[in-house]
Structure 1
Amino acid sequence: MSDSTIYVIDDDDAARDGLVFLLTTSNFAVRDYHSARAFLDVIHGAAKGCVITDLSMPEMSGIDLLRQIRALGFDWPVIVVTGQGDVTLAVEALRAGATEFIEKPYDADTLLSAVAAAIKEPIGTTADARKTRVGQMLAMLSVEERRVFDGLTGGQSAASLAQDLRLSSQALEIHRANLMTKLQASSFSDLVRIALLSLAKPPAEN
């Protein structure tokens, strides 16, 4: 399917083996490691690829691994997988530069789609153009939708946000669905990336 190597990092042998099996049977080249440190020990000699890391690991978490990868100057896509459905952790991972944040249990299509999207060549769109497009999409949101967007991407849980905005859970879900459509977002990760891009400072003029 692709020439890119997929690097799987997970201290859980069963989970790691299952993911390796899924990827190899989908024709990806895969290398797996039992810890973040084991992967960092070989990263400088590794071919460019996509990293899939578990979030909760001893010694070094998936988010700490992501930060180390970025600190070393590698811009490889990194997908963080976790069994903890924590909005704050998702925001933290995406702010640190994760390409995607996927909760366990996930279905095979979700994981494979995330990998395929991560390794696809990016379209040459300038940061200014992306920021302008995001601004245009955000302007289409109603006041209530924007409040829901800001709350969710700011790390609030749906229950807490509904209480703060005095909305029923059903009303909150309707606003969330509407803003996802208007922003052309298919996942929570997309929403966080849109929020981060909207806050990005324009490049300094020469």
Structure 2
Amino acid sequence: MQSKGSPVRIVYIVDDDPALLGSLERTFRAAGLTAVSYQTAFAFLDAVPDLSDGCLLLDIIMPEMDGLELQERLNSLGFNMPVIVMTAWGDVETAVQAIKSGAVDFIEKPFNDEALLDAVNAALALDRGPTRDRESVVAAKLVAKLSPRERQVLDGLVAGRSTKQMAYDLGISARTVEVHRARMLARLGTHSLAEAIRLAVLARLSPADLEANAADPQRRSGASRGLPE
């Protein structure tokens, strides 16, 4: 058992793929982390009352209960552990929905070990003190610093548009879109597309929206699929 005040280094993994679970456990243990895995959402829910602090790495596509539904159940229980969701490549809509429901990050499959460990270490180091309301205010201030074109590129990324699609929509070259994207990430203070999307989502959520999402799971799973204009 870790001594009081020492950093918690436990990663809980929920995924229905035994081979992936084994691979993730080996990766985390090699990095000095404790890995505890569950093959179903129900198994994890049963274990929640006895869990220590750490972070949760959650797959979205699972039988019986998927990752988004598990998030809703955890929210109703007052679960406050940082959640990272694993999504299919390019599935931005699902990632946005997960972030609206409280996930701190998402990582796209297939992922490399470095990106995975970076995301997990950031989640483990996260101060969970600030409320989502405060995070929303901070995010709104960061997004407000973007130029109009940078904001258009960010909105396009959140909507799941490719560089070529955005270039066509905006009437500019793909190379120019990439330049604006790089500047946008720099202004937001991140190199991560996931973090940029998270900031964009939080910036568009008013305190009233956050309260409604927390109180109404149906709103989170249904109406939250589209971003407010």
CA contact (8 A) 1:135 1:198 kept: yes
Pair 1:157–1:4, CA change in 2 (3 A) = same
SS at match of 1:190: helix
Aligned: 1:115 with 2:112: no
SS at match of 2:106: strand
2:111 corresponding residue in structure 1: 106
1:156 corresponding residue in structure 2: 160
Cα deviation for residue 50 of structure 1 reads: 0.8
After superposition, what is the alpha-carbon deviation per residue over 1:18-39, rounded to whole angstroms, capped at 9, x for unaligned? 0011111222122111111111
CA contact (8 A) 2:154 2:197 kept: no
CA contact (8 A) 1:94 1:189 kept: no
d(CA) in 2 for partners of 1:115, 1:49 = 10
Cα deviation for residue 131 of structure 1 reads: 5.3
Cα deviation for residue 164 of structure 1 reads: 2.1
Gaps of 5+ in 2: 1-5, 209-229
Q: How many residues align?
A: 202
TM-score (norm 2): 0.78
Instruction: Say which is worse superposed, 60-69 or 172-181, in terms of deviation.
Output: 60-69
Aligned: 1:174 with 2:171: no
Higher relative contact order (CA 8 A, sep 6+): 2
Q: Between the two proteins, what is the percent identity of the paired residues?
A: 37
Instruction: Say which is worse superposed, 159-168 or 6-15, in terms of deviation.
Output: 159-168
SS at match of 2:86: strand
Aligned residues: CA RMSD:
2.4
CA contact (8 A) 2:8 2:124 kept: no
Q: Pairwise mapping of residues 181-192 of structure 1 onto structure 2 (< 5 A)? A: 181-192=186-197
CA contact (8 A) 2:8 2:53 kept: no
Aligned: 1:145 with 2:155: no
2:64 corresponding residue in structure 1: 59
1:77 corresponding residue in structure 2: 82
Cα deviation for residue 9 of structure 1 reads: 0.9
1:15 corresponding residue in structure 2: 20
SS at match of 1:194: helix
Gaps of 5+ in 1: none
d(CA) in 1 for partners of 2:134, 2:61 = 36
Pair 1:32–1:109, CA change in 2 (3 A) = same
Instruction: Say which is worse superposed, 114-123 or 85-94, in terms of deviation.
Output: 114-123
Q: Which residue identity does 1:22 align to in structure 2?
A: T
Instruction: Say which is worse superposed, 131-140 or 101-110, in terms of deviation.
Output: 131-140
Aligned: 1:39 with 2:44: yes
Pair 1:41–1:187, CA change in 2 (3 A) = same
SS at match of 1:8: strand
